Structure 1
Amino acid sequence: MKIIFMGTPDFSVPILKELAQHHEIVAVYCQPPRPAGRGKADRASPVQQCAEALGLPVYHPVSLRTSEAQQAFFDLQADLAVVVAYGLILPQAVLDHPRLGCVNIHASLLPRWRGAAPIHRAIMAGDAETGVCIMQMEAGLDTGPVLARAQTAIGAEETTADLHDRLAAMGARLISATISDLPRPAVAQSEQGVIYATKIDKAEARVDWAQPAAVVDRQIRGLSPFPGAWCEINGERVKLLRSRLAEGAGRAGQVLDGLRVACGDGAVEITLAQREGKRPMSAGDILNGLKLPEVLS
């Protein structure tokens, strides 16, 4: 099958690699290189780096709404476009052109968590399970009928980084099984249970120890590694990257022992944290170089 692949971040890479093993990838579309790192030099996206390593042609138009960009897309004569966290809206003319249309791999159990941050939001909301859906794309935001889905439980100590990698691997397996059976019936999404996974705002990242321990724990795991939940310790902003629920009670923010901290109800134990300008460290390593106050802010 002749496929146009459209994706940009790390999540898309395992899916591109899987498709490239079994199909002809006629083009890879991704966002253009962006300034990154301390020197702010342009850096190619993970998908572009992968595509170039595989010897695949790369396109990164600023928009797909111009006649020139659309004609370039049409000239590829693809059977199917596979879209995974691409970052541009596909106009109707593009959606309609491939023989089998455009399919999208989305990291949630639609219609729950349509939108930008489904993995973060599922963990932060305390969902017991999540998964991957493959949908036939249409003009609405993640509203298309679902061709296939796979479910998985969310682990009690799983972070967004952990779940991200598992769902990417699931998506790669699912897309291979799905497109080998196209065209196939799709199931319209229910209008019940629609929830939008709004983009993560950095203002959500500061920990409020007065919240119940379950909420604090989900915030820490759901925002790890980016943007990273944080608190202040002796005036220094410290990112909290892994945690688990723990026994104990006390004043909100009170350090009970080690990095076990009392919340409004219950306690959490921080198992991985990161000081400013340093690498992530275990709680033991953090405590070797940081004297904790009695109460965290």
Structure 2
Amino acid sequence: MRIIFMGTPDFAVPTLAALAGHGHEIAAVYTQPPRPAGRRGLELVKSPVHQQSEILGFRVKTPESLKDAEEQQAFRDLGADVAVVVAYGQLLPAAVLSGTRLGCYNGHASLLPRWRGAAPIQRAIMAGDLETGVMVMKMDEGLDTGPVAMEERVAIGPDMTAGELHDKLMVIGGDLMQRAMAALERDSLTLSPQPDDGVTYAAKISKDETRIDFSADAQTVHNHIRGLSPFPGAWCEMQFGGKPERVKILRSTKSEGQGAPGTVLDDRLTVACGEGAVRLLRLQKAGGKALNAEEFLRGHGLDAGTVLS
């Protein structure tokens, strides 16, 4: 089929590669414009999808918005059979949703209708979900409300981080979308409406919710840490040389112990929570590299009784 692909981050790259690898014609790739990056923000960096598209020789379009009538007409003029959307980063207006012969299909990283919205992978882990997955959905004008065509389920391990789940789902998502498009080409793709019950929304992660609250129970603290790892990273403050410094916690596990919330209980970075304890396994100071707990402790004395906040 002749496909318009719309995506931006790493998560979308395997889907683009799968579609191209199975012989579909990529009419154009839409992605977000290059954004400032680097420590000073002076360099404009192309999105991962943009970079991969150039390697594969695809035409790339980077409009700031698709609300403009000229952009919508340019989309229609591509004469595509279908549009495939994976983490594009813009809401699509009705004129774009109807701008191809067969409509727009989205690869979404949750088991809809649970976790509609921007951060389904992080929210699933932070909520303690035991299972998630990828779904292919025909898009409508709502927020991830369209009928579902195919799904693939994935168990969430007890210590799995958002980064690990992301990497697993993006590969599965590429294969699932390729199979969905093959079925669509054969006119054998079945659509089922989403149920009305079980709807939850995965709001974008805000900076205000990244600080660790050790007064919560150990499971909640652990889910918070792994749900925000590696980005943006859950953090707490530690005292070094009498000065508080922000330290990201990138990996943890549930442990045994009790004490005042935030108190270091032993020489293995076991920290008391409101109920139970967690052991911190991987940490990163601002501007530093990520270190395993043993390496971190060699350079930063955190004796039992130290309080993290």
Tell me, yes or no, whether TM beats 0.5: yes
Q: Percent identity?
A: 57
Structure 2 counterpart of 1:153: 155
TM-score, normalising length from structure 2? 0.94
Given candidates 128, 131, 135, the residue that maps to 1:129 is 131
Structure 2 counterpart of 1:295: 307
Q: Show the 5 A alignment for 1:36-55.
A: 36-40=37-41, 41-55=43-57
Counterpart CA distance in 2 for 1:42 and 1:150 is 36
Kindly tell me the number of residue pairs found equivalent between the two proteins. Answer: 297
Q: Does 1:8 align with 2:20?
A: no
Structure 2 counterpart of 1:228: 233
Q: Does 1:208 align with 2:193?
A: no
Q: One-letter code of the match for 1:33?
A: P
Match of 1:255, SS state, is: coil
Q: Does 1:242 align with 2:247?
A: no
Counterpart CA distance in 1 for 2:274 and 2:205 is 24
Q: Residue by residue, what CA displacement relative to the aligned partner does 1:185-223 show, whole Å, maximum 9, x if unpaired?
A: 200001100000011111111111111000000000001
Q: Show the 5 A alignment for 1:1-297.
A: 1-22=1-22, 23-40=24-41, 41-182=43-184, 183=187, 184-234=189-239, 235-257=244-266, 258-292=268-302, 294-297=306-309
Counterpart CA distance in 1 for 2:167 and 2:236 is 26
Shift of 1:227: 1.3
Counterpart CA distance in 2 for 1:9 and 1:267 is 35
Match of 1:236, SS state, is: strand
Q: One-letter code of the match for 2:99?
A: H
Q: Residue by residue, what CA displacement relative to the aligned partner does 1:72-92 show, whole Å, maximum 9, x if unpaired?
A: 111111111000010111111
Match of 1:112, SS state, is: coil
Structure 1 portions without partners, runs of 5+: none
Match of 2:265, SS state, is: strand
Counterpart CA distance in 2 for 1:84 and 1:201 is 22
Structure 2 portions without partners, runs of 5+: none
Shift of 1:226: 1.4
Shift of 1:39: 3.3
Counterpart CA distance in 2 for 1:176 and 1:52 is 21
Counterpart CA distance in 2 for 1:253 and 1:93 is 53
CA RMSD of aligned residues (A): 0.9
Q: Residue by residue, what CA displacement relative to the aligned partner does 1:150-201 show, whole Å, maximum 9, x if unpaired?
A: 1111011111100001010110110111110113220000110000001111
Q: Residue by residue, what CA displacement relative to the aligned partner does 1:205-249 show, whole Å, maximum 9, x if unpaired?
A: 111111100000000000111111001010010000011111111
Most deviating of 1-10 and 246-255: 246-255
Q: Residue by residue, what CA displacement relative to the aligned partner does 1:74-123 show, whole Å, maximum 9, x if unpaired?
A: 11111110000101111111111211110000000000000010000000
